[in-house]
Amino acid sequence: MSLSFMFINVTILPIHPPKTLNLHPLPIPIPNSKPKTVYLHPLHSVSASMEGGRPKRVKTTANRRSRTEFGSSSAHATREGRGDPYYSLILQETRLAKFQGRKATYVRYVDLTWMAEQHFEFPHEFEAQGAVQFLELKGQVYPALVREFYANFRYKDGSYWSMISGRLFELDENLFMNVGGLSSNGYGIGDCAWVKETFDAGEVYKSFLRGPHLYIQGELTKAVSLSVENRLLHYLIAYILVQRNTNHAQPTVNDLRFMYAVKNNVMINWPEEILKVMYSVSTSQSKLLPYSIFISRVVEYLHIDVSDTIIIEYTDKDHLVGESLIHKMGIYKYGNTWKYQEDHTTVEVELSSDEDQTGTEGQNATAQGEPSGSAS
């Protein structure tokens, strides 16, 4: 007896232009790209221990679906994945078991309009890349569905696919544009001839430092040695766009290559780079799970039922790359300029010494020398 097999195509909504910053003389309309808010009633708070704070966990009163048994997703999976051994229930359960207990990477997002108002240049550079909407994605996260996404993630016939709650879908350019505002036009970071010819890791790293004295040949790179502008640019790339598990304190050669491309207005194919990361995680036995916010927005975009799954809500206080988090980097605003506190203190000490020599003691401490935010 033969079985018929058919993929159910995901209906793609009209493509919306990526979000841009309203920073020009003439107002530019920004499409409403905020993800749909899901309200579940009644909600119960559950404590959770996560990096960077204690996000609120909520769930419905319905019995929580057992992720090892697949529960209600099984019937859907047999319909959409019928005939493909990869999506047999036994194999799905086996793969999902490998992801149980795997945590998400650090959750971060940013308000680039605020960053531009602080006179940073990188918001304009990210706007040119069409990456504003993706960098600002926020909202609830569905950790069990994120694990299911990676358990069912695969590369087949030149395309990337996954299945969540029985819904099979392709991670194509339309999905990335509609959910994250990212275009697939541009170069893979290793494919741009101009970058290959002009990029020198050592020289580029030196040019990104806040002072030539911080470059020591043979020493490991340090994020803390980067200028404030480049420190934040690196942070957004490593924590949001091209996420990785650890070692954020040391910019990699690939990090420097991405920064170099962005600062020189070389268009990057961000979906391609994101899919590379996703694929490496799906085949790993231990890596943390990246892009949980993006995947959760995909869940909502595809109208996948979330009424029977744990939800985590993240607060701006602990996860927004803004003033509070910047202060934790030891960076404060003095007047209209953001500086490392130690650099500002060094200048004050030098000025104080000069004033002591000229008999102007007591005048070196002024209100202008105080950071706009208390040190922590």
What SS3 state is found at 110?
Answer: strand
Q: Are residues 109 and 234 in the same domain?
A: no
Q: Are residues 212 and 166 in the same domain?
A: no
Output b/e per residue, 116-141; b: 16+ Cβ within 10 A. Answer: bebebebbbbbbebbbbbbbbbbbbb
Of the residues 268, 295, 321, the one at which a domain ends: 268
Selected residue with higher pLDDT from 141 and 190: 141
**Segment holding 332, helix H or strand E:** strand 331-334
- Is the predicted pLDDT of residue 266 greater than 80, yes or no? yes
Q: Are residues 26 and 40 in the same domain?
A: yes
Q: Are residues 157 and 216 in the same domain?
A: no
This prediction has a pTM of 0.75
Q: Are residues 297 and 252 in the same domain?
A: no
- Cβ-proximal residues to 308 (8 Å cutoff; 6+ apart), any chain: 60, 62, 63, 64, 65, 71, 72
- Helix 228-236 to helix 122-129 angle (10° resolution) is 30
| 70-84 pLDDT, tens digit each | 433 333 444 555 578
Distance between CA 344 and CA 349 in Å, rounded? 9
| 154-200 pLDDT, tens digit each | 999 999 999 999 999 999 999 999 999 999 999 999 899 999 999 99
Cβ atoms of 311 and 40 within 8 Å: the answer is yes
Q: Are residues 208 and 165 in the same domain?
A: no
Cβ atoms of 153 and 370 within 8 Å: the answer is no
